[in-house]
Amino acid sequence: MTTTKNLKSTKREIKPETPLAPAAFHQLTFPPQPKAVDIGSWSEYGPTLAGLISLTALETMSQTITRGNDERLTASAATARIVTTMAKSTVIQIGYAERHWAHSSAARSWQRFWGKYERHAETGLFIEYGSDPEQIEKLARAFRKLPQALQEVCLEWRVTFSFSEGFTANGNSSTFYADFSQSTPARVSPHIEIGMVSMQPSFIVPHLTHELSHLYWRSRREYERNEYRSFLRETCQSDCIEVTTYVHDIFLDRQYSCEAIRWMEESFCDTVAILVAPTYPAFNPNSTVDLNVRREAIAGTFGLQLPPRLQIVD
């Protein structure tokens, strides 16, 4: 998910623990120091987001971390280093040097994401040291259900995971944190925090899918994202009803450039989540979107293979 100027929930508002900066979306300059970005957060009934970056920062982030000739930072050499390190590491220590975005004065509660992370033997995921074994197993089962491409990007970028007893540090059910203004995957330092609602059987797979779909989207080449954006513009006319109420609300605000960028990414992530988890409760039964057409567009544009959308009968 991207950030938004308003904290929204499809059912109820969940206020974050720390003040946010909705006015930042009207600024056209970068903040003096790079700040962590809450890429995606979920309430019990759908995603909620916090405005933490400027419009310029959002547009820069939408370019993912690409170089002049559009080479991805997840090039083979970088990936090889990560995989090699993972093979050798059982427990890693993450502090300010590795995850400086957690030092943000606006969200000191994010410093909880410093500490030890232990590699899960079966999945390769780095999970907060000392986590509840039952929660770890639930996460592992959900991870195994994800498309291979999402599993691979998760491991390549060395996403870390932690659990919260209630809501996340940002006041939601689950949140994906990262700093995409950085130049390497290690400095981006992606992290997913999962709250208790997202651990429920009906939510864990689609929420995990959605969060990792942001990382997948951001790590694609810009021309691929632009191709999919063109597809959305062509197939989503003014009378379109999006796949979830959350995405549809953003779609209605797409006349603003920041909301248009956000809508396209959120639409991609929710579409992937629904195709992976067809019984996802957040799916809008009134949606006019042909999910199989989107599935084919995603496969043709990114090479991401997803299961066909079947008719769900209650």
Which residues in the chain land under pLDDT 50? 1-86, 312-314
Q: Which domain holds residue 40?
A: 1-220
Q: Is residue 301 a part of any domain in this protein? A: no
> What's phi and psi for 312, nearest 5 deg?
-95, 120
Q: What is the pLDDT of residue 105?
A: 54
The pLDDT tens digits for 125-168 are 999 999 999 999 999 999 999 999 999 999 999 999 999 988 88
Q: Is residue 107 a part of any domain in this protein? A: yes
Residue type at 267 in one-letter notation? S
Q: Is residue 195 a part of any domain in this protein? A: yes
**Residue 131: count of CB within 10 angstroms of its CB:** 16
Q: Is residue 212 a part of any domain in this protein? A: yes
Q: What is the DSSP code string of 46-90? A: SEE----S-HHHHHHHTT-SB-TT--BSS-HHHHHHHHHHHHH-S
Q: Is residue 266 a part of any domain in this protein? A: no
* Residues 6 or more apart whose Cβ sits within 8 Å of residue 32: none
Q: What is the pLDDT of residue 310?
A: 66
- Residue 18: which of 7, 8, 29 has the closest Cα? 7
- Return the CA Rg of the chain: 18
What letters, b where the CB count within 10 A reaches 16 and e where it falls short, cover 79-111? beebeeebeeeeebebeeeebbbbbbeebeebe
C-alpha span between 239 and 250 (Å, rounded): 14
Q: What is the pLDDT of residue 106?
A: 61
Q: What is the pLDDT of residue 109?
A: 83
Q: Is residue 39 a part of any domain in this protein? A: yes
Q: Is residue 256 a part of any domain in this protein? A: no
C-alpha span between 306 and 159 (Å, rounded): 22
Q: Is residue 229 a part of any domain in this protein? A: no
Number of domains in the chain: 1
Q: What is the pLDDT of residue 311?
A: 55
